[in-house]
A and B are shown apart, each in its own frame.
Chain A
Amino acid sequence: MIELGGVSKSYGAVPALDGIDVTFGTGQVCMLLGPSGCGKSTLLKLVNRLLRPDAGTIRVDGRDIGELEPETLRRGMGYAIQGVGLFPHMKVAENIGIVPGILGWPRARIRDRVAELLELVGLPADYAAKYPREMSGGEAQRVGVARALAADPAILLMDEPFGALDPVNRQRLQQEFMGIQRRLRKTVVFVTHDIGEAVRMADKLVLMGKGTILTEGPPLEIAGRAELVAKAFLGSGFVLELLEKYTVLDHRHLLVPAEGCPPGTGRVEARTATLKDALSAMLLAGRDCVEVDLDGVPYRLRFEDLTRAFAGNTL
């Protein structure tokens, strides 16, 4: 768990963060969302001591990070940034293996770890011998994630790691990262200015503006109570992004027995289809309901029930 208490930071006379109190829970993905210059990257850099706060304390698992050696602290935190930051003069295997190497792992163990991580991020094993310049942006970004995970840190700090990618690659990497996260359960602090990315990935969403936290909480909860300032940034499409976050299975309490489906109704798979897919199927078929297949049992999702999905935070 990472706790910030009363943290302020300014660059010269320009305030970047003003009295921040926030907690990032163990095993959770916390998304820091806000416009450029709101202080979200500054906040991230305070956590691994690339910057020192002017006031306030930062604790990691109860320990004040000011008392730790910065290098020790950082080696316990994976760090992935936009523009990748891969070392161009090192092969992929050397890039991934650099922190384990510093930590004194034996060569064989590093080699095994590199192979394991390449598989985890979905790259062929022979990529270990490639140089960063020989890869596409998406592949390099995958290596960036693998490098952050290399020494199996409990905490991952990610500063717009997918920021330079095209929308298709970006969404694919988000999904893959969430798949990895479901298995590894790291404490993730993730900076982004992409509302969709923030909503889809967040266990906890922290919305920032001009050095302060506007609102925080699970995305669904924020959707219900978003303050005016927050609404101004999130926009009215915010709830539509939420449709993409949840599968039909997540909202199975909305399902009703399948009887009475008119012919020509669309059909989705409960485990894989998101609420957005379900809504799309309704729109495409021109019906106000969709057939849902939940492990072979047919159900029906009606539009009127879907409208209740987020009302009063029913999840």
Chain B
Amino acid sequence: MATETRRRPWLKEPLLLGLLAFSVFDFPRLAALLSPLIGEGKPSVEWAPLPVLAGQHIGVVLLSSTASFLVAFSLGAASHLYGLKGLQELLLNVGSFGESFPTAAVIALAVPALGYGFEPLLLALFLYGLLPVLMNTIQGLTGLDRDVVQAAEGMGLTRVQRLLRVELPLAAPMILAGVRTAVIINIAAASIGSVVGAGGLGMPIVSGIRTFDPVLILKGTIPIALLALLADSLFRRAERRLDRRVRSATPA
């Protein structure tokens, strides 16, 4: 039956974007507005302007998430295509093991090999983004309606045709949800990058912790939170859109 759900109006995302821009480009005014709650900040040295730090933050998240997506999606899709159940279990186990490693530890271990700066952070975030995408790709592809998959096989679609024309389009919302998780994790985890000299919005947070300055901590935290909320909202919107397309025929 026709159940075309109402399109959601674009309200939340522009609001979040506006707040994000405000917090990044005019933090002093935001801090002044919030001063009854958080008190006055201490005078501090600014290492780099906040917009630059935000740009670094977003850049490293985009880069690492894209890399995680490409690798994890390919691994997940390939292991499904060739029916490698054993490999899938191994991948998921290695993935969860990797996930249980603290970010700080990964970065610390990467520094001797890659040196200070951007690279160890990128490596850590890349590794962290793998599991959610991998897990959702594998589960999305294996959890499809058996009737639909078998119909495709029984009609004479080849393995690759089934994957490209039926399985991936149907699993897309689930896979996208995995990418969303990876991005959100990375937005938060990228703060740690400041300790190895990778910049980002973690800089004011770390300085704020050192100098016991809550305003400085919020200078990094507020944009990070807004960025995470905005990314989450945009991804969910895309997922809903895909989900509407693949919702099943018969209300069983």
Contact = CB atoms under 8 A, between A and B. Distances in A.
Nearest to A71: B156
B249 A133 contact: yes
Contact of A133 (B1, B152, B170): B1
B109 interface: no
Interface string A51-79: 00000000000000000001111110101
A82 B250 CA distance: 11
Residue of B151, B169, B248 with most partner-chain A CB within 10 A: B151
Interface in B63-108: none
Interface in A189-226: none
B154 A89 contact: no
Contacts of B3: 133
Nearest to B153: A50
A35 to B, nearest CB: 21
B34 interface: no
Contacts of B46: none
Nearest to A83: B147
Given A98-B165, A134-B1, A135-B249, A87 B154 contact: no
A88 B172 CA distance: 13
Residue of B150, B156, B157, B248 with most partner-chain A CB within 10 A: B156
A89 B246 contact: yes
B155 A98 contact: yes
A292 interface: no
Given A81-B150, A136-B1, A88 B247 contact: yes
B252 interface: yes
Given A81-B147, A81-B151, A164-B250, A89 B245 contact: yes
Interface bin, chain B: 20 to 34
Given A86-B249, A133-B249, A74 B2 contact: no
Interface string A75-102: 1010101111111110000000011001
A134 B151 CA distance: 20
Interface in B127-156: 147-148, 150-156
Interface bin, chain A: 20 to 34
Given A84-B147, A85-B150, A99 B156 contact: yes
B158 interface: yes
Contacts of B158: 71
A140 interface: yes
A133 B247 contact: yes
B35 interface: no
A22 B151 CA distance: 25
A79 B147 contact: no
B166 interface: yes
B44 interface: no
Contacts of B155: 74-75, 79, 98-99, 147
Nearest to B161: A102
Interface string B160-179: 01000110011000000000
Contacts of B161: 102
A137 interface: yes
Contact of A87 (B2, B152, B252): B152
Contacts of A134: 1-2
A70 B250 CA distance: 29
A39 interface: no
A186 to B, nearest CB: 16
Nearest to B166: A87
15 contacts: A50-B150, A50-B154, A74-B153, A74-B155, A75-B156, A77-B156, A81-B150, A83-B147, A84-B249, A88-B170, A98-B155, A98-B165, A102-B156, A133-B2, A157-B154
Given A70-B156, A87-B151, A88-B245, 6 more contacts: A81-B150, A83-B252, A86-B148, A89-B169, A98-B165, A134-B1
Interface of B: 1-3, 147-148, 150-158, 161, 165-166, 169-170, 245-250, 252
Q: Which 6 A-B residue pairs are closest in the complex by CB-CB distance?
A: A85-B151, A132-B249, A74-B156, A75-B156, A79-B154, A83-B147
